[in-house]
């Protein structure tokens, strides 16, 4: 595997460029040279604002195919940004993967139906090259969500059938299920219905032409451990369905995580053990412990502060900083709480300044303003 990208460049880029999103920043557009496919794939990498090359914290990874369809790709990323900002899904690493007109049909076709098909080589590219790169270089954890439209809706559906143990969720937009001699609508999904198996999610936005095929697939599924659902769009245009389907699909996939997070947010009695229990629950449900949102962890601190429970507020912000050490705003809350408790603030102030110096969560202008406010 050869990647035309140096980790040296995986740094915060121009701030104006990063301001396209509320909770994310563009890290890099580059070309990934795939040995499995035998040619380069254009990819775009978007990471959470709290992503730092120097911080050993990991994030779920989302692969979006058909990056070349800019309208659809941008809408999906902005939807991810919107739902993340509103604390309904965890911060994720988002990698968009382009396909050229020359190769898109081949990449989503199996040789049994199309002799020139490269579906297997594409599978090797995804699971043996791109996802390992995300884990090794971009701090992706083991949670994997694939999003594909049309031909890639078919292809991601096939991966859900064939590689279910290596995936957590698939969102198939306008999928079909059958090609010559290859019928995934009638395929059995081999995933044992044991209580200790993580839940796998399949969501689809389906045109009426293919809804019966979807129902055939659904009937093959043991729903104890596979959460499968499709929405039929009877009159929507093929190219509109991604925009109509993506938000509810993402909400469904991460609903359990958001519900668990809300337990901590609504708790009016400080209990650090609650976070451990939430991590255990999400680990059992998804197969990966997904971290809570900065906004929720910060909101818990301010909730205690508003009720004048300053010691609990400090504890809540200290837990936030363990998860997100670049979030200097937490130090503001601790300083304000220490003022109320008449505790010396100098050590916290030094830690606050060091945080601003060490990390790039804030823009240079924001850092200057925060230091002025401290004075």
Which helix (H) or strand (E) segment holds residue 33: the answer is: strand 24-34
- Which among 118, 120, 172, 179 has a CA at the least distance from the CA of 148? 172
Position 221 scores a pLDDT of: 85
Confidence of residue 98 (pLDDT cuts 50, 70, 90): very high
Same domain, 31 and 168: yes
Does 278 fall in a domain? no
Euclidean distance between CA atoms 89 and 98, whole angstroms: 25
Total count of domains within the chain: 2
> Could you tell me whether strands 59-65 and 39-48 are parallel, antiparallel, or unpaired per DSSP bridges?
unpaired
Instruction: Kindly give, in sequence order, each residue whose CB lies less than 8 Å from that of residue 198, ignoring residues fewer than 6 positions away.
Output: 168, 225, 284, 285, 286, 287, 288
Checking if the pLDDT of 13 tops 70, the result is: no
Same domain, 143 and 223: yes
Position 1 scores a pLDDT of: 40
Confidence of residue 271 (pLDDT cuts 50, 70, 90): confident
Same domain, 182 and 314: no
- 299-338 per-residue burial string, b: 16 or more CB within 10 A, e: under 16: bbbebbbeeebbebbbbbbebbbebbbbbbbbbbbbbbbb
Query: How far, in Å, are 93, 124, 292, 330, 359 from residue 319 at the CA level?
Result: 23, 39, 11, 10, 18
Same domain, 256 and 152: yes
Confidence of residue 270 (pLDDT cuts 50, 70, 90): confident
Confidence of residue 10 (pLDDT cuts 50, 70, 90): very low
We report the CATH number of the domain holding residue 353 as 1.25.40.10
Tens digits of residue pLDDT in 157-195: 999 999 999 999 999 999 999 998 889 999 888 887 667
Quote the domain boundaries for residue 162: 2-262
Same domain, 323 and 248: no
Among 10-24, 95-109, 114-128, 342-356, whose mean pLDDT is lowest?
Answer: 10-24
């Amino acid at each position: 595997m050869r990647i035309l990208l140096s980790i040296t460049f995986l740094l915060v880029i121009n701030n104006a460029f990063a301001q396209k999103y509320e909770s994310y920043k563009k890290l890099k557009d580059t070309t990934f040279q795939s040995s499995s496919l035998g040619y380069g794939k254009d990819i775009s990498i978007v990471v959470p604002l709290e992503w730092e090359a120097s911080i050993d914290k990991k994030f779920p990874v989302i692969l979006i195919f058909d990056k070349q369809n800019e309208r659809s790709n941008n809408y999906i990323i902005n939807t991810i940004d919107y739902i993340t900002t509103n604390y309904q899904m965890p911060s994720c690493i988002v990698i968009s993967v382009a396909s050229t007109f020359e190769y898109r049909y081949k990449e989503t076709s199996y040789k049994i139906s199309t002799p020139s098909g490269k579906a297997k080589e594409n599978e090797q590219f995804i699971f043996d090259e791109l996802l390992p790169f995300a884990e090794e270089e971009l701090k992706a954890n083991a949670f994997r969500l694939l999003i594909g439209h049309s031909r890639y809706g078919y292809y991601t559906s096939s991966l859900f059938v064939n590689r279910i143990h290596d995936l957590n969720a698939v969102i198939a937009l306008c999928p079909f299920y059958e090609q010559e001699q290859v019928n995934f609508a009638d395929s059995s999904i081999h995933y044992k219905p044991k209580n200790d198996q993580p839940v796998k999610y399949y969501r689809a936005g389906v045109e009426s032409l293919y809804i019966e095929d979807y129902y055939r697939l659904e009937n093959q599924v043991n729903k104890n451990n596979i959460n499968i659902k499709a929405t039929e769009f009877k009159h929507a245009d093929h190219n509109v369905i991604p925009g109509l389907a993506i938000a509810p699909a993402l909400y469904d996939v991460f609903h359990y995580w958001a519900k668990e997070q809300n337990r901590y947010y609504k708790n009016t009695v400080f209990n650090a053990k609650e976070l451990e229990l939430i991590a255990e629950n999400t680990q059992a449900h998804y197969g990966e412990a997904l971290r809570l949102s900065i906004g929720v962890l910060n909101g818990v601190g301010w909730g205690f502060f508003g009720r004048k429970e300053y010691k609990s507020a400090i504890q809540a912000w200290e837990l936030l900083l363990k998860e997100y050490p670049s979030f200097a705003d937490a130090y503001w809350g601790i300083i304000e709480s220490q003022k109320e408790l008449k505790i010396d603030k100098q050590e916290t102030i030094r830690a606050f300044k060091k945080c601003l110096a060490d990390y790039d969560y804030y823009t240079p202008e924001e850092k200057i303003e925060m230091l002025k406010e401290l004075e």
